[in-house]
Copies of this chain bind each other. A is one copy, B any other.
Amino acid sequence: MPREHKRRGRGQSRTIAGIQQQPWKQPRNFYSPFEIASADQIEALHENSLRILAELGIAFLDDEALDILREHGAKVNYSSKMVKFSPELIEEYIAKAPSQFTLHARNPKHNLEVGKNWTLFSMVGSTPNCSDLDNGRRPGNFKDYQNLIRLAQHFNVIHMTGGYPVEPIDLPANTRHLDCAFTHLTLTDKVFHAYSLGKQRIADSIDMLCIGLGLTRKELKKQPSLISIINTSSPLRLDGVMIQGMLEMIRNGQSVCVTPFTLSGAMAPVTLAGALSLQNAEALATLAFTQMAAPGSPVIYGGFTSNVDMKSGAPAFGTPELAKSTLIGGQLARRYGLPYRASNVNASNTVDTQAGYESMMSLWPTIQSHCNFVKHAAGWLEGGLCASFEKVIVDVELLQMMSAFLDGLSFSADEMAFDAIADVGPGGHFFGTQHTLERYENAFYSPILSDWNNFGQWTENGSLDTTQRANKIWKQALSEYKNPPMDESTIEELEAFVAKRKEKPGISIHWK
């Protein structure tokens, strides 16, 4: 719960309520990764993936991509669009991808390391609906979009936005990306994401990023500042719009995260080994392609192999199967020396106990897989069909706890507390001892949402459940939100760019 702290000024005493959140910090995971597959099992997945790519191939639905692939030694069938890769070709090009890179934010304090033992948490993305306790569930819209971006900016533990936190369907589809990029650049100074829906949209986002950061395209090329998710159209297919957006990203030095959407039982085999083999094959082929088109491009290996409910066909999240695939995905990414992406997901229709336990069923293995890029880390509900304002607050609590868990251990002689134990003696109490007083303020994780009052006090306070408390906190966060400063001239330049592009959008609306 937010606590009150006092500030004194000019003879007055006033009480200022402030959410006492953790300071900005990008966590590093110094613990060993938790690995559930044996080295032999990882090699078996690897071999099976390479066999899929060598014998079956994968469809690249874009002729420019087919040319690039052929020129670099892949076997291309232009009529079926199928591309086959020898194992050596995959290994050769995957090896060109960096194992770590920096994502640059408008505010350099918010720059992010991607790879090795670094972790980062990004806001929920791409949901068609949003909801809160006061106004219920509604289709995505620009106002909610802006408020969710403000929450992502306000909470230090949310390190970047991750696409549109909700789809603003009240904006015209062919110019929506312009308003969204403008919002990303002005309401937050953290790293953001652009959708790879064809070349033009990415080109616009890059142009706007150059204005916002005050860089030329040539300068921007040297500092990855934008990220895009590349979803394969599983099984064994990569769509043309994705490819064109991806090419524009990597040719401009920007980063892409390749995430096959291999839902087991639907777009992927019903077995974990089969689904992971498919995920790995699709990721390897697409990542190898990035290194052919732009060697050294900053890329991420994405895992998203959950399963469907075999009764309804609905995707399930936060399942034991997802936990396993998330952990093994991390092992595969390390096998290739690539940064790894996973997610904080659940399938609940409301912010309740299931939302809490399914999120944790995905977040724990995500953290323990040494995931570098945790997507949908805050706000995801309904298997990704809804962004919840209350769930953002729940997830801020979970992410802060995980960050505290990753803070590691300190075993100095003083912390061994032998003298304190000797002083207190049998049956004594440590509460008021010097050893405690010196440390109590920062000794333990301090929650923003969890209520540790006893039942009587909790009842006196109104018996508010977690979701009701979260409702108060996101409103408080919005009231405390501060717009990150930007030069007036830069804002004007961005506005002018958007206005000019809106005159002649030049984008065919062939996506929903």
Q: How many residues of A contact B (CB 8 A)?
A: 125
Binary B-proximity of A314-355 (CB < 8 A = 1, otherwise 0) = 101001110110001000000000000000000111111111
1/0 contact string of A123-147 vs chain B (CB within 8 Å): 0000001000000010000000000
Known A320-B401, A427-B235, A443-B307: A451·B348 in contact at CB below 8 Å? yes
Task: Kindly state the separation between the CA atoms of A436 and B235 in the bound complex, as whole angstroms.
Answer: 15
A202 within 8 A of B: no
Contact B52 A418 (CB under 8 A): yes
Can you list, as one digit per residue, whether each of A440-454 has a CB less than 8 Å from chain B (1) or not (0)?
110111000111111
In chain A between 405 and 426, which residues have their CB closer than 8 angstroms to a CB of chain B?
405, 407-412, 414-418, 420-422, 424-426
Kindly report which residue of chain B lies nearest to residue A314, judged by CB atoms.
Answer: B452
Contacts of A324 in B (CB 8 A): 405, 409
Judge whether A91 is part of the interface by a CB distance below 8 angstroms: no
Q: How far is the CA of A5 from the CA of B289 in the complex (A)?
A: 50
Which chain B residue shows the least CB distance to A386? Answer: B455
Q: What is the minimal beta-carbon distance from A438 to any residue of chain B, in angstroms? A: 9
Cα–Cα distance between A143 and B402 once the two chains are bound (Å) = 40
Q: A424-B235, A452-B347 are in contact. Are A270 and B398 (CB under 8 A)?
A: no
Instruction: Digitize A277-294: 1 where CB-to-B-CB distance is under 8 Å, 0 elsewhere.
Output: 110000000000000000
Q: B264 touching A444 by the CB < 8 A rule?
A: yes
CA distance A56 to B36 in the complex (A): 42
Q: Roughly how many angstroms separate A428 CA and B51 CA in the complex, as a whole number?
A: 19
Question: Which of B32, B309, B357, B386 makes the CB contact (< 8 A) with A397?
Answer: B357
Which residues in B have their C-beta under 8 angstroms from that of A266?
Answer: 429-431
Task: Name the contact of A428 in the complex, choosing from B137, B235, B271, B351 (C-beta under 8 A).
Answer: B235
- Cβ of A183 < 8 Å from any Cβ of B? no
- Are B354 and A357 in contact, with the CB atoms below 8 A? no
The residue in chain B whose Cβ has the minimal distance to the Cβ of A410 is B273
**A451–B451 CA distance with the chains assembled, in angstroms:** 26
- Which of A246-254, A359-367, A495-503 lines the interface with chain B? A359-367
CB-based nearest B residue for A431: B266
Residues of chain B with a CB closer than 8 A to A441's CB: 310
A-B contact pairs, 7 of them (CB 8 A): A268-B430, A269-B430, A272-B410, A274-B418, A349-B458, A352-B466, A356-B356
